[in-house]
Structure 1
Amino acid sequence: MSNNIKVLLIGTGNMANEYYKVLKACEIETIVVGRGEERARVFKKNNNCKKVYWGGLENCPQEELKDVSHAIIAVNVPQLCEVTKQVIGARISNILVEKPGALSKDELSSINVMAKEKGVNIFIAYNRRFYSSVLKAQEIINNDGGVSSFNFEFTEWGHVIEKTNNDEITKNNWLLANSTHVIDLAFYLGGKPVQMNSYIGGRLSWHENGSNYVGAGKTDKGALFSYCANWDAPGRWSVEILTKNFRLYLKPMEQLQIQQRGTVKIDQVEIDDELDTCYKPGLYRELQAFLINLEKVGLMTLEEQISEFDIYMQIAGKN
């Protein structure tokens, strides 16, 4: 990657550590800003990073922000909107925000208005779009005439999430904050819904607005789809894509399996996944698209996330 890039990384948690691992390997100058001093000091020590500041962006020396061309925002979900607006105010031209970007369509729209006023480009980070398995699946799909139908599952392990230290706001919006990884990938490959019926049932102690999700519809590519998730039963994330001659299994998503027409045998597809084993899967190519590729191929734009938000809310039963 180019040495002419200077990056502001906001956040010092797990995801920020993963981003910094790639940035450091690519020898990209990076300024790190966190909120709490203790975690920032741990980040600095563990990553041998020289420029780490705490107390938020307001406590970062202005001279450090000079010539910053890109910003990556990897903070907790409830803080995404506020921090993104702060970075826009700092007039940094390109911003990659961790999914889902904000907690509501109104928040996303307000960010978009501000970004357009300042001439800032904003993208939402869905790294599974850049998995080696997904890139190979796209190649097979394109060579076989496109997707005819697909299905996906976004089951979450409710008994595990309940015991995590995630804040209550994030847990209450868990489908948006986490499950959209699967939902986005499925519609990224199969097209955006133009018709969809959704059904929700059940509840959990930490998530009263549903635990059992089922739906089906049709996309703008003419593909029929269905989905399911039961957060109070065994399951896992998965996406299955059907073309004329193949059935593709992303289950787990880091791998790709294939079934050919006329056989029940399912074979493993060989993929070059070196970057996905050296770094958090998908992250290296995602940052490459954000920092280097002028066309930003594969990245979700803020406008795209706004347009998809009603879909998420319908699936979640919140529309």
Structure 2
Amino acid sequence: MARDYVSVLDSLNVDYEVVGRGKDSSTAFEVATGRTVLTGGITRAIGNGIVPDRAIVAVGVEELAEVAYELLDAGVTRLLLEKPGGLCSEELVKIRGRASSAEVIVAYNRRHYMSTSTARQIISDDGGVRSFFFEVTEWPNATEPEQVKSSVRQRWFLAQSSHVVDLAFHLGGHPINWASWNGGSLPWHPESSRFAGAGITNTGATFGFHGDWEAPGRWGLEVMTRSRRIIFRPLETLQVMSIGSLEVVPVPIDDQIDRDFKPGLYEQTRSFLLEEDGVACTL
């Protein structure tokens, strides 16, 4: 993710410094991006007097909270923290508590997809969301994510599946009354492998969700208005089914920016820097 942010920041002509940890990873980063890395980690950087007003945290999931704590304690006032922000709700609560007057944004970049922006306009035109359904099946067939640590694999729903969960509730409202069920297990995720639930949000929209990590499937989201069914599958694209018809029609999207950079990242970063992010996920 850090390399993706460099591409965006360079395109925006922003002055910034990169702080890394180990020498080997920092050297590889420098070779890939052409950017000099200050090694030794955030503790050393702060000790050397490097405390910016704004910071972007793009480290491993298991390290997000600790880096956020240090930056906030040092006086950073605006923080863009890679999703999901921490490994558990306790870490997120601590971040919020230590933020004081600082603003912390969790970088759920799918809120900034051009498909999402287009869907928000359709939803507004149609008078709001009446109901929605999302699928949290991991693909392909929940192959063990060996590239991350065991502590992260065991919290994979939060670390990974929460991307689509966040997008669904961003569009449909916050859940206020709901129930959920789970079953099954995987060797690397013993708590469960099947998920289901339903409820209602603060906007009055009803919702349901399902996921089976031991069966074929993929992330998906369907949002219903009075006039249209808005389909995200994959999430970067948009299709609609209009009332009175069974035809599913692709929606034209001006998504060149999501093709040039990691989808959603350019607009998310630009909005963060300009302090005009009205759709951000804040703590």
- For the criterion TM > 0.5, the same-fold answer is yes
- Residue in structure 2 matched with residue 291 of structure 1 by the alignment: 273
Aligned length: 283
* 1:167 is aligned to 2:152: no
- Residue in structure 2 matched with residue 58 of structure 1 by the alignment: 43
- Residue in structure 2 matched with residue 26 of structure 1 by the alignment: 12
- Residue in structure 2 matched with residue 301 of structure 1 by the alignment: 282
* 1:280 is aligned to 2:280: no
Contact 2:200 2:207 in 1 (8 A): yes
Give the distance between the partners of 1:207 and 1:142, measured in 2 at CA. Answer: 39
Runs of 4+ in 1 over 4 A off after TM superposition: 61-64
Which ranges of structure 1 fall in alignment gaps of 5 or more residues? 1-14, 303-319
1:212-231 → structure 2 map (5 Å cutoff): 212-231=194-213
Q: Residue 201 and residue 61 in structure 1: after superposition, are their counterparts in 2 closer, same or farther (change >3 A)?
A: closer
1:148-167 → structure 2 map (5 Å cutoff): 148-157=130-139, 159=141, 161-162=143-144, 164-167=146-149
**TM-score, length basis structure 1:** 0.85
> Quick one: percent identity of the two aligned structures?
39
Letter in 2 for 1:100: P
Q: Residue 299 and residue 61 in structure 1: after superposition, are their counterparts in 2 closer, same or farther (change >3 A)?
A: closer
Q: Aligned to 2:118, which of 90, 115, 136?
A: 136
Task: After TM superposition, give the deviation of residue 153 of structure 1 in Å.
Answer: 0.2
Letter in 2 for 1:182: V
Give the distance between the partners of 1:255 and 1:183, measured in 2 at CA. Answer: 17
Which ranges of structure 2 fall in alignment gaps of 5 or more residues? none
- Residue in structure 1 matched with residue 239 of structure 2 by the alignment: 257
Task: After TM superposition, give the deviation of residue 105 of structure 1 in Å.
Answer: 2.1
Letter in 2 for 1:24: D
Give the distance between the partners of 2:93 and 2:142, measured in 1 at CA. Answer: 33
- Residue in structure 2 matched with residue 37 of structure 1 by the alignment: 23
Q: Aligned to 1:91, which of 70, 75, 84?
A: 75
- Residue in structure 1 matched with residue 60 of structure 2 by the alignment: 76
Q: Mean Cα displacement is larger for which, 19-28 or 57-66?
A: 57-66
Q: Residue 223 and residue 178 in structure 1: after superposition, are their counterparts in 2 closer, same or farther (change >3 A)?
A: same
Q: Residue 161 and residue 54 in structure 1: after superposition, are their counterparts in 2 closer, same or farther (change >3 A)?
A: farther
SS of the equivalent of 1:124 reads strand
Give the distance between the partners of 2:143 and 2:96, measured in 1 at CA. Answer: 31
Give the distance between the partners of 1:281 and 1:165, measured in 2 at CA. Answer: 22
* 1:189 is aligned to 2:161: no
Contact 2:56 2:80 in 1 (8 A): yes
**TM-score, length basis structure 2:** 0.96
